């Protein structure tokens, strides 16, 4: 039996539906094609084993400050080359190295963290790639967003990772273009869907209308939709950009309720599993509800990724500023209206919806202020049958490309011949000529420039700050070392001898 290691962002303190979904979907795709045991890299092996019944080990963990993660990467490189003094014996790197040694391949599952905003996660993936390279194991990088914000040193290590990989999947046109800019050719670089697109297989009923009851991890029954509904997911506001949107979203959801006659169920994607968690989407959704007056907006618990996806695809309409509700909804034929918090979000949302030809319904944040979000919802609802028909007409071809990609990935690990990955092509577009769509298209360039500029400045500042902190730390260590030496017996003895020698020279008149 083959053994494949799969890297995702699993087992985080705050459960993340999208991150978990990509890793477990990738593992499912490999199992469907290979007689293989899957080992998931995770921050919480116990939780991952319990949720998914899959072997799991602790992942590599990198420090957040840029200067420290650069330094740590070189220590991992030394460890991968056999230097047992590079890192402490208890560091997770040694177990990862041992697992890679006995593996037949390494898959870095999809994600949106190969950029400087989430640089510690980028470096975790680069480090795993370095270990695979040093040990001569095949590596595939699937379903990624590259950039858009990349410091020069981060782009350098990203290139090192992608250059070694046998196959690289880019999930937006902009990521595909950046891959080409870094020198990847079409034999390696492929346009793909997000890995979790078909976590809920097409035709699956999702949450059955009239009988939808799920259990939260505490074992208590949680009421979920039992009829037609709108699924909505809203993460925190963009703190770097200083945006304020959640209160307005509460009001917009009330108007969506009035328009459609349907209740809204808020499905959190980040936070502790269960109903009573704090932080993440729990807080965002509480703010949304606090600014609603309809009484028809309900908050769901954080559900495991498969359940959250199934609930989303059972909706009649999806509204979100997060990425994976878009991914789940479109693949199931559900109309989606997405609102981007910042440039990073817009690249991903616009790209994901463009893969299905409905990118006009991916809006920059300022559309919320000028009524564009409301108008987009109204048009999506009025054209919902047309949108669903459009998505369902595209699904067979897009699904075939998705299957072809995973066939190619499996062939890398099994060392067998397979048809080359074809990649996504252009699809028929279902757009809008309405004023709200024209305004959004016109605003997108400026929105990305301003928000992207803020992100670039923030990452540059973070980099400089971390270098300063590292220098201060090294200076303080040098001072402490000097003081330790001064306090040592040998230093005091040497000082005594020097003083004695000085006295002798004075007594002897300086004669030798």
Give tens-digit pLDDT for 459-476: 999 889 988 988 887 888
Cβ 7 vs Cβ 43: under 8 Å: no
Say how far apart CA 47 and CA 20 lie, in whole Å: 12
Residues of the chain with pLDDT under 50: 205, 208-222
In this predicted structure, what is the pLDDT of residue 223? 60
Q: Which ranges in 200-245 belong to alpha helices (H)?
A: none
For residue 37, the 8-state DSSP code is E
In this predicted structure, what is the pLDDT of residue 244? 79
213-382+433-455: CATH class: alpha beta
| Percentages (nearest 5) of helix, strand, coil residues in the chain | 50, 15, 35
In this predicted structure, what is the pLDDT of residue 479? 84
Cα–chain center distance at 489: 54
Say how far apart CA 155 and CA 475 lie, in whole Å: 29
In this predicted structure, what is the pLDDT of residue 213? 40
Say how far apart CA 128 and CA 80 lie, in whole Å: 9
Say how far apart CA 477 and CA 492 lie, in whole Å: 21
What would you report as the CA-atom Rg of the chain, rounded to the nearest whole angstrom? 27
The CB density around residue 490, as the number of other CB atoms within 10 Å, is 8
Which helix (H) or strand (E) is 230 found in, with range?
strand 230-233
Phi, psi of 62 (to 5 degrees): -110, 150
CATH of domain 2-191: 3.40.50.11720
In this predicted structure, what is the pLDDT of residue 212? 39
Cβ neighbors of 66 (< 8 A, separation 6 or more) are 116, 119, 151, 153, 154, 459, 462, 463, 466, 467
Say how far apart CA 65 and CA 466 lie, in whole Å: 5
Which helix (H) or strand (E) is 455 found in, with range?
helix 435-487
Say how far apart CA 163 and CA 168 lie, in whole Å: 9
Say how far apart CA 262 and CA 360 lie, in whole Å: 23
| CA-based nearest residue to 121, from 106, 105, 136, 110 | 110
């Amino acid at each position: 039996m083959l053994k494949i290691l799969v890297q995702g962002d699993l087992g985080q303190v705050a459960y993340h539906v999208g991150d978990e979904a990509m890793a477990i979907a990738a593992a499912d795709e490999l199992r469907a094609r290979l007689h293989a045991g899957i080992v998931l890299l995770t921050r919480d092996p116990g939780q991952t084993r319990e949720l998914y019944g899959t072997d799991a080990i602790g992942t590599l963990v990198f420090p957040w400050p840029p200067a420290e993660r650069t330094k740590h990467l070189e220590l991992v490189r030394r460890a991968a080359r056999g230097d047992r003094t590079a890192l402490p014996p208890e560091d997770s790197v040694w177990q990862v190295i041992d697992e890679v040694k006995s593996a037949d391949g390494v898959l870095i599952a999809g994600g949106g963290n190969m950029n400087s905003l989430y640089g510690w996660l980028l470096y975790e993936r680069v480090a795993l790639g370095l270990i695979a390279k040093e040990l001569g194991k095949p590596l595939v990088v699937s379903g990624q967003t590259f950039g858009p914000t990349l410091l020069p040193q981060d782009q350098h290590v990203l290139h090192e990772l992608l250059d070694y990989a046998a196959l690289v999947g880019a999930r937006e046109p902009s990521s595909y273009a950046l891959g080409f800019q870094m020198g990847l050719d079409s034999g390696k670089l492929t346009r793909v869907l997000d890995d979790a697109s078909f976590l809920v297989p097409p035709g699956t009923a999702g949450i059955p209308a009239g009988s939808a009851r799920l259990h939260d991890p505490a074992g208590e029954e949680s009421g979920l939709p039992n009829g037609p509904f709108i699924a909505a997911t809203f993460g925190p506001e963009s703190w770097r950009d200083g945006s304020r949107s959640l209160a307005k979203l509460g009001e917009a959801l009330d108007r969506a309720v009035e328009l459609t006659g349907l209740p809204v169920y808020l499905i959190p994607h980040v936070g502790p599993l269960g109903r009573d968690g704090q932080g993440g989407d729990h807080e965002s959704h509480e703010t949304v509800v606090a600014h609603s007056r309809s009484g028809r907006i309900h908050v769901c618990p954080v559900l495991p990724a498969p359940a959250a996806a199934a609930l989303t695809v059972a909706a009649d309409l999806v509204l979100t500023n997060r990425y994976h509700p878009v991914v789940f909804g479109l693949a199931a034929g559900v109309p989606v209206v997405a609102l981007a918090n910042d440039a990073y979000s817009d690249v991903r949302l616009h790209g994901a919806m463009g893969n299905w030809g409905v990118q006009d319904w991916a809006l920059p944040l300022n559309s919320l202020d000028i009524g564009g979000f409301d108008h987009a919802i109204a048009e999506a609802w009025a054209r919902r049958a047309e949108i669903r028909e459009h998505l369902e007409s595209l699904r067979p071809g897009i699904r075939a490309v998705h299957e072809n990609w995973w066939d190619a990935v499996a062939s890398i690990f099994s060392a067998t011949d397979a048809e080359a990955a074809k990649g996504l092509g252009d699809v028929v577009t279902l757009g809008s000529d309405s004023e709200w769509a024209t305004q959004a298209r016109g605003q997108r360039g400026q929105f990305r420039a301003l928000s992207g500029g803020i992100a670039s400045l923030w990452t540059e500042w973070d980099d400089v700050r971390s270098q300063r902190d590292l220098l201060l730390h090294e200076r303080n260590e040098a001072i402490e070392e000097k003081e330790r030496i001064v306090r040592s017996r040998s230093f005091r003895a040497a000082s005594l001898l020097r003083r004695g020698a000085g006295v002798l020279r004075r007594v002897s008149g300086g004669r030798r």
